[in-house]
Amino acid sequence: MSTNFHKLSISKITREAAKTVAITFDVPAELEGDFKFKSGQYLTLRADINGEDVRRSYSICSSPNSGDLTVAVKAIENGKFSNYAYDNLKEGDVMDVMAPMGGFVLDEKVNNHLFMAAGSGITPILSMIKDIAESGNGTATLIYGNKTAADTIFKEEIDALNTANTNVTVHYVYSREDSGNAVLNGRIDRAKCADLKNYILKDAPIDGLYLCGPEEMINNAKDYFSLSTLEANQIHFELFTTPTAATEESKGGADEGINVNSNVTVIIDDEEYEFLLNTEDKDVLQAAQDMGADVPFSCKGGVCCTCRAKILEGTAKMDLNFALEESEVEEGFILTCQAHPTSETLVVSFDEY
Ligand code: FES
């Protein structure tokens, strides 16, 4: 997988509800291999905004077999990139786009999928549901929370999927509008999850849960379903806002209190960058950038996973991790934007997947 940016031109711009714009890219034949994706993955976009290199990751909302490569960008308050994209981008513009990434993808072992999304968290989930509808494999049940029907991004498209496919079922939950069913009114908190499970999902078989939206909704749903019906490895999630609190413990309690001057080697595209880095100093990503390494990143907040790399030797701890699954951490993957060395030698590679 390539971590370089490629120039792609915008073939279509569509305005959606809630100040969201869907951007479709034209992928030239020579880049088709690079831009093959799985439903649920995201693209990192880069733009020069008033002289600043700004990067953000956005989930792909088209399905892998549709032949389209489309992301959805919701303009958020003070969002530098999202407002730039919403206000300025037009068909024919050329953007810097990184190849698709991300591990929030369908688990092949799962047959009956429950998807829960809130707001713009629908984006990767829409791609997954289209994928399931097109393949006809398994079932997809969607619980989609929004303030009102008018605020519901992709509502028309989702309604059409619901109508046209017997293996897709959709339930909207509104927090500021009466949906006509008390169970489908309100916010998706733990009590709402219990009501949904007991009434709306009573007869729905579920062997995999996919969550995407704000932290609070994800935590509520994770807590409820892990205590009631599902094992931890059946629950997958992707956070769609910057976390409000540093809730993730640094990895490996044994690392606490360690303070070493580490000889760090960062490998990217077969090139090696070596430097000394103290545990308490800057993160591995920043240190590598300071050495001139063209390392991939986007959010720098432990959310997007673009800076993921693998430890080949030594140990590191992370300040935050909202993106890597436990199994990935066990395999030695780290978010370099959150990582600090805890061993005298640390070798990290961006070339391992
Ligand atoms: S850059 Fe997003 S998690 Fe590190």
| Global pTM value | 0.84
Q: Which residues of the chain have pLDDT under 50?
A: 245-254
Name the residue with the closest Cα to ligand 1, atom 3.
302
| CA 207 vs CA 95, 151, 166, 308: distances in Å | 39, 30, 18, 28
Query: 200 alpha carbon to ligand 1 midpoint, in Å?
Result: 36
Q: Which amino acid type is present at position 151?
A: D
Q: Is CATH 2.40.30.10 the right assignment for the domain spanning 5-98?
A: yes
335 CB less than 6 Å from ligand 1?
yes
Domains of the chain, by residue range, sit at: 5-98, 112-239, 253-349
Domains 5-98 and 253-349 alike in fold: no
Determine which helix (DSSP H) or strand (DSSP E) holds 24, and give its type and residue range: strand 20-26
**CA–CA gap between residue 159 and residue 138 (Å, rounded):** 19
Q: What is the CATH architecture of 112-239?
A: 3-Layer(aba) Sandwich (3.40)
339 CB less than 6 Å from ligand 1?
no
| Beta strand 208-213 pairing with 168-174 | unpaired
Q: Which atom of ligand 1 is nearest to the CA of 299?
A: 2
**CA–CA gap between residue 151 and residue 213 (Å, rounded):** 15
Position 304 scores a pLDDT of: 87
pLDDT tens profile 51-102: 988 889 999 999 999 999 999 999 988 889 999 999 999 999 999 999 999 8
| Sheet arrangement for strand 235-239 | 168-174, 139-146, 112-118, 208-213, 235-239
Find where tokens 């994209």 sit.
85
**CA–CA gap between residue 40 and residue 60 (Å, rounded):** 7
Determine which helix (DSSP H) or strand (DSSP E) holds 143, and give its type and residue range: strand 139-146
Phi first, then psi: give them for residue 330, nearest 5 degrees.
Answer: -65, -35
Q: Which atom of ligand 1 is nearest to the CA of 338?
A: 4
306 CB less than 6 Å from ligand 1?
yes
Class of domain 253-349: alpha beta
